[in-house]
């Protein structure tokens, strides 16, 4: 006679979703997106919270339930690009690979991200003067952190013989600037497609750092 197991099968714990939190995040994102569109088209000073509310077909108190004021919205718009870029950079670095492979992945993904978030990048560049001083300093620190992490990668490439760079700090700033400036001139319906811009940027950066064979 077969013995029956007395072990109890434990039921998988149900996945609990924070539906309220998800809805709140969705509404904040809608406000942020519409505000960014207006900041981009009309400028920060030329945009009122009433105009944002009208675009969303909501009341101004609805916006105040998610953001304290227009300055807080500008802060979040301005931080978005650099935080996304840092996340990409960290992801690539954690994935490993040769310095050249990592640099190529960073340039490809960050340039694509900048194009996809063009309005956010341009609004920050145009409206930095309207940020609260503490916020402006914090974002500059994030940008410096990005450049320093690129510099560290370039240093690794120089040490391994993969890169031929005289000044890795200057090269890091140049690479960051080349990518970020894309947001100022790229046109979705322009002469160059997004993929072509990414490819050309990648070629320029590779040529800039590669050691002669």
CATH no. for residue 35?
1.10.10.60
Q: Locate tokens 């809608």: which residue? A: 30
Give the pLDDT score at 22. 83
> In terms of domains, do 26 and 83 share one?
no
Percentage of the chain lying above the pLDDT 90 cut = 85
Whether the pLDDT of residue 76 is over 70: the answer is yes
| Region of poorest pLDDT, from 12-16, 50-54, 94-98, 158-162 | 12-16
- pLDDT tens per residue across span 157-194: 999 999 999 999 999 999 999 999 999 999 999 899 99
Burial bucket for residue 47 (CB in 10 Å: 0-12, 13-18, 19+): buried
> In terms of domains, do 170 and 129 share one?
yes
Q: What is the CATH number of the domain that holds 130?
A: 1.10.357.10
Distances (CA, A) of 43 to 11, 119, 135, 166: 55, 11, 18, 40
Q: Which domain holds residue 38?
A: 19-67
> In terms of domains, do 32 and 129 share one?
no
| Region of poorest pLDDT, from 2-11, 82-91, 200-209 | 2-11
Give the pLDDT score at 20. 76
Please, which pLDDT band fits residue 48 given cuts at 50, 70 and 90?
A: very high
How far is the C-alpha of 9 from the C-alpha of 30, rounded, in Å? 44
- pLDDT tens per residue across span 85-121: 999 999 999 999 999 999 999 999 999 999 999 999 9
Residue 33 lies in a domain: yes
């Amino acid at each position: 006679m077969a013995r029956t197991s007395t072990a109890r099968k434990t039921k998988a714990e149900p996945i609990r979703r924070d539906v309220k939190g998800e809805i709140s995040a969705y509404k904040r994102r809608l406000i942020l997106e519409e505000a960014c569109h207006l900041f981009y088209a009309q400028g920060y000073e030329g945009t009122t919270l009433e105009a944002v509310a009208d675009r969303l077909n909501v009341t101004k108190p609805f916006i105040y339930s998610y953001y304290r004021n227009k300055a807080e919205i500008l802060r979040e718009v301005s931080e978005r690009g650099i935080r996304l870029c840092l996340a990409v950079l960290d992801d690539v670095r954690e994935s490993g690979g040769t310095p050249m492979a990592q640099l190529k992945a960073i340039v490809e993904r960050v340039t694509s991200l900048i194009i996809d978030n063009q309005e956010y990048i341009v609004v920050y560049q145009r409206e930095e003067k309207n940020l609260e001083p503490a916020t402006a300093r914090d974002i500059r620190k994030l940008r410096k952190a990005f450049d320093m992490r690129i510099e560290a990668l370039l240093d690794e490439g120089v040490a391994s013989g993969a890169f031929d760079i005289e000044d890795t700090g200057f090269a890091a700033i140049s690479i960051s600037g080349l990518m970020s400036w894309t947001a100022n001139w790229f046109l979705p319906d322009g002469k160059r497609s997004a993929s072509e811009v990414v490819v050309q940027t990648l070629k320029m950066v590779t040529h800039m750092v590669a050691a002669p064979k």
